């Protein structure tokens, strides 16, 4: 069934490509006034949307246009939703107020997301998860073997496995709770080592911040219009950017951007790590909605250390 479906999809894709190519050839071979205008317009749009080639990479390949990932497409769609049209609150200084409890459980006609179905392509669906991630950090050529080795190693080589290391920034992702008051931003992803209190008083960066070795970095917040920007330095090299083996060096800097539109929070981050990356890597845009009825924040439960030898599949990832 899988093979026949693939063959049908392939024939359909080839047929569509042939029709599209024939249309372009026909426009070029028989140029009327409208056709020439349409062709030049398409070529102009493609030229404007061509993504840049990273420095140091020699290639003759140029994609036809910039692709939009499903995640970024969802974020763009949400900007037009009813939640985004609600009033955006501001603090006493007239700045966007990001205070609130932010959750990701959007209603979906496809059912509850994140469930792992038994008997699928892979038990943990890691292959499908990797395929769905169009936006990947671009490592220097000499580091791809390391990334691959970490990615396909056992689960316990992930520093976030077990109780030893926290996820850190930026892997812990969008804060679930934000408190904005007294020229400070409280970013809470959980209790214990997932709380950050970042100053927001236009202070200058302490040059010694970069000498620290931390999981969450030494953060400093500022305003860029209505966008809250948090810049962090002073990381260790223990954590990963993601479970796929995306490691980083201790020279990494992380720039997080928060935007609020009505009852929606839009978040992305950029990792700049010239030690291992060929260029700065910007994440997809994550979307969270305001939860007006938050639950109580309890203390963290005792961490239950997991024994890798007890796993049915020690390579279970995702």
Task: Give per-residue pLDDT as tens, 21-36.
Answer: 444 444 444 444 444 4
Total-model pTM: 0.75
Q: Which of 197, 235, 190, 243 is nearest to 216 (CA)?
A: 235
At residue 42, does pLDDT exceed 80?
A: no
C-alpha dihedral sign at 248, 253, 258, 259: negative
Residue in the block written with tokens 């009505």: 262
pLDDT of residue 63: 63
> Under a CB-based contact definition with an 8 Å cutoff, are residues 184 and 197 in contact?
yes
d(CA 247, CA 149): 11
Given this model, what pLDDT does residue 59 score?
65
pLDDT at 15 over 90: no
Q: What is the pLDDT of residue 130?
A: 73
Q: Which of 240, 239, 238, 237 is nearest to 250 (CA)?
A: 237
pLDDT of residue 173: 93
CA dist 201 and 208 (Å) reads 19
Task: Determine the pLDDT at residue 251.
Answer: 97
Residue 37's alpha-carbon distances to 17, 43, 48, 105, 138, in angstroms, are 22, 10, 16, 45, 37
- Report residue 61's pLDDT band, with 50, 70 and 90 as the boundaries: low
Q: Which two tokens stand for residue 56?
A: 């140091």
Give whichever of 15-29, 141-155, 261-275, 300-314 has the largest mean pLDDT.
261-275
* Res 2: pLDDT: 45
Q: Rounded mean pLDDT of 179-205?
A: 90
pLDDT score of 288 more than 90: yes
Q: Average per-residue pLDDT in the chain?
A: 80
- Among 251, 159, 247, residue whose Cα is nearest residue 212: 251
Residue with tokens 């169009």: 134
Cα dihedral 294, 298, 302, 308 in deg (nearest 10): 10
Cα angle 6-46-73, degrees, rounded to a multiple of 5: 60
Element (H or E) spanning 57, and its range?
none
pLDDT at res. 81 = 93
How many helices and strands, by DSSP H and E, does the chain display?
5, 12
Mean pLDDT of 55-78: 75
On the question of pLDDT at 217 being above 60, the answer is yes
Residue 279, burial from CB neighbour count under 10 angstroms (0-12, 13-18, 19+)? middle
pLDDT greater than 50 at residue 121: no
The pair of structure tokens assigned to 47 is 């030229």
Coil/strand/helix, residue 317: coil
Mean pLDDT of 5-9: 44
Judged against a pLDDT cut of 90, whether residue 52 lies above it is answered with: no
Is the pLDDT at 44 greater than 60? The verdict is no
Say if residue 169's pLDDT is above 90: yes
Check whether 3 has a pLDDT greater than 90.
Answer: no
Distance CA 179, CA 154 (A): 38
The CA-based angle 313-314-318, given to 5 degrees, is: 85
Q: Is the dihedral of CA 9, 12, 18, 23 positive or negative?
A: negative
User: For helices 2-29 and 33-49, what crossing angle results, to 10°?
Assistant: 120
State the CB neighbour count (10 A cutoff) for residue 296: 4
How confident is the model at residue 18, as a pLDDT? 42
- Cis status, amide bond into 170, omega within 30 of 0: yes
Q: What angle do CA 111, 284, 118 make, to 5 degrees?
A: 35
Element (H, E) at 131: helix 126-132
- 218-274 pLDDT tens trace: 999 999 999 999 999 999 999 999 989 999 999 999 999 999 999 999 999 999 999
Q: Give the pLDDT mean for 51-65.
A: 65
Please give the Cα distance from 96 to 180 (Å, whole number): 10
């Amino acid at each position: 069934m899988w093979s026949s479906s693939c063959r049908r999809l392939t024939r359909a894709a080839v047929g569509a490509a042939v029709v599209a190519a024939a249309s372009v050839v026909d426009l070029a071979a028989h140029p009327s006034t409208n056709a020439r205008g349409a062709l030049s317009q398409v070529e102009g749009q493609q030229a404007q949307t061509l993504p840049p080639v990273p420095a140091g990479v020699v290639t003759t390949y140029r994609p036809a246009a910039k692709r939009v990932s499903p995640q970024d497409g969802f974020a763009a769609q949400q900007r037009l939703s009813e939640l985004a049209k609600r009033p955006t609150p501001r603090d006493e200084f007239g700045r966007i107020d990001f205070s609130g409890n932010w959750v990701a459980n959007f209603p979906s006609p496809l059912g509850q997301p994140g469930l792992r179905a038994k008997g699928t392509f892979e038990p943990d669906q890691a292959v499908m998860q990797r395929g769905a991630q169009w936006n990947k950090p671009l490592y220097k050529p000499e580091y791809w073997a390391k990334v691959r080795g970490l990615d396909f190693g056992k689960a316990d080589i992930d520093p976030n496995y077990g109780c030893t290391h926290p996820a850190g920034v930026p892997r812990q992702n969008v804060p679930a709770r934000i408190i904005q008051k007294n020229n400070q931003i409280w970013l809470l992803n959980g209790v214990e080592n997932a709380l950050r209190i970042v100053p927001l008083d236009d202070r200058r960066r302490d040059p010694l911040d970069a000498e620290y070795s931390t999981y969450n970095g030494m953060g400093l917040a500022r305003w860029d219009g209505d966008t809250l920007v948090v810049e962090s330095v002073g990381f260790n090299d223990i954590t990963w950017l993601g479970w796929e083996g995306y490691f980083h060096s201790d020279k990494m800097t992380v720039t997080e951007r928060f935007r609020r539109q009505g009852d929606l929070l839009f978040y992305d981050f950029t990792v700049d790590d010239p030690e291992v990356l060929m260029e700065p890597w910007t994440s997809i845009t994550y979307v969270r909605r305001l939860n007006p009825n938050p639950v109580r924040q309890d203390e963290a439960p005792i961490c239950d250390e997991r024994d890798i030898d007890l796993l049915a599949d020690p390579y279970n990832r995702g």
